[in-house]
Amino acid sequence: MQKFLFAGLLTLGLSSAGLAQKAAQPAPYSAAGRKVTVYTTAQGTKQRLTASPTALTFQAQAQPLETQPTVFVDPTHAFQTMIGIGGAMTDAAAETFAKMPKAQQQEFLKAYFSPTDGIGYTLARTTIHSSDFSTGSYTYITDGDSKLKSFSIDHDRKYRLPFIKQCLAAAGGQLTMHVSPWSPPAWMKTNNSMLQGGQLKPEFRQPWADYYVKFIQAYEQEGVPIWGLTTQNEPMAKQKWESCLYTAEDERDFVKNFLGPTLKKAGMGDKKLIGWDHNRDLAFQRATTLFDDPEASKYFWGLGFHWYETWTGSTMQFDNIRRVKETYPDKHLIFTEGCVENFQFSGINDWRLGERYGYSMINDFNAGTEAWTDWNILLDETGGPNHVGNFCYAPIHGDTRSGQLLYTNSYYYIGHFSKFIRPGAKRVATASSRDILQTTAFQNPDGSVAVVVMNTTAKPLDFQLWVQGQAAPTTSPAHSIMTMIVK
């Protein structure tokens, strides 16, 4: 009887495993007969997201040779789902927008948010009261008001809220918005200043948690839906601007005992709570502390990160993000901020601006990132306004002297992703046989496959796009980025 039961269970197990294996088989995909439209941005040319005049066609090729530079794409193997790509709607962006002529304001809105005439942003970030990219420090309450009775977002009604609402309308009424604080009010902190780091005083952890809820409620009452929030912007950086320090344990315990339960009690348990919101260098250590504690982890949707680890002399540490995804596959990854610092007006046409974006976006997506947020969506001709002189580059600058919009090539490099890789797209397997061709690919909900290929060298390279035994030849120009749409 025992042998019979064992044999039956074994047979059942094999059958179940067989069914599971069969269910997991990837859907077939054939590139035969499909056309490829190529969009190119290249240094030393007029090409800026420029469509090729004729589509590429596939021809059968069973086995590429080692002498044939090739980008391989396999849509039958899919990974994370794209949430969106966009930028931050700061006070600086809103104030610069307000100073531009009406015609340029409309040009700006179309340039960012139209999926046909622009680059189709679908993601946004804003700040919970002031950051360095404000004209001064401010909060939404009066000093000492731990009951938050004076809470008001009236400050934001002059510039920021009208700006966000116009962006929201230009995006078709839907933007995935996440929010971040740079510092609690000064009197809630150990250094009694919103600037220069300091820490949240233990006695104000509950009022500060309530503050997030008040902000989300106030913005949503204004018609601005909030999708998610981070605990603290750059919690390991003591800055000359708004900043507040949290060790990994501090953040874990604040979320576990205060912010997480407070959001849940307020009916905001569905808001995506994002940990870390700082550079890739310490991302894995932060993730282990936040996610290995079950009581804290249940509140965290995932981990946010920035690209400024290069200040230490390091290169961008994409493997740290990959380690987080490998270790915590059920958690999500979102790039929450990046910009090129140390603005100089003479550098607005520097090609390296865009290449930094392309390099980061390709590698972040290949590491498992689901959403990617640039920093200021618009700045003026000084790289501000910024109340501590921390001037930076944006994809578009509004020259308030001439009233003109100035497009850096970052705008076009970001557009090679945001315009063609839409929310709901699945990243698919890609590989390149040459290290100078960096690549990632996504299959959109409409079935089209968007393949991004970037060349940061001074030499053009002939290569072929190879998909399941079908190859389409083309050329990657020097210092270029291409998006190849397979339909």
Identify the active-site residue in 234, 251, 355, 370. 234
Helices vs strands, H then E, count in the chain:
12, 22
CB burial readout 305-321, b (16+ within 10 A) else e: bbbbbeeeeeebbbebb
Contact partners, residue 486, CB within 8 Å, separation at least 6: 31, 34, 35, 36, 73, 448, 449, 450, 451, 465, 467
- For 118-189, strand residue ranges (E) read 123-128, 176-181
Task: Mark out the alpha helices in 87-127 (DSSP H runs).
Answer: 91-99, 102-113
Provide the CA 180 distance to its chain's centre, in angstroms.
Answer: 14
Given the residues 95, 242, 251, 337, select the one marked as catalytic: 337
Contact of 91 with 160, CB cutoff 8 Å = yes
Tokens of 301: 């949707």
What is the residue-wise DSSP string for 25-86? SPPP---TT-EEEEEEEETTSS-SSEEPSS-EE-EE-S---TTS-EEEEEEEEEEEEP-EEE
Annotation says 234 is catalytic = yes
- Residue 84: what are its φ and ψ, rounded to 5°? 170, 170
Query: Catalytic site residue 341?
Result: no
Helix (H, G, I), strand (E, B) or coil at 411: helix
**From the CB of residue 325, how many other CB atoms can be counted at a distance below 10 Å?**
21
Residues annotated as catalytic (active site), given as ranges: 234, 337
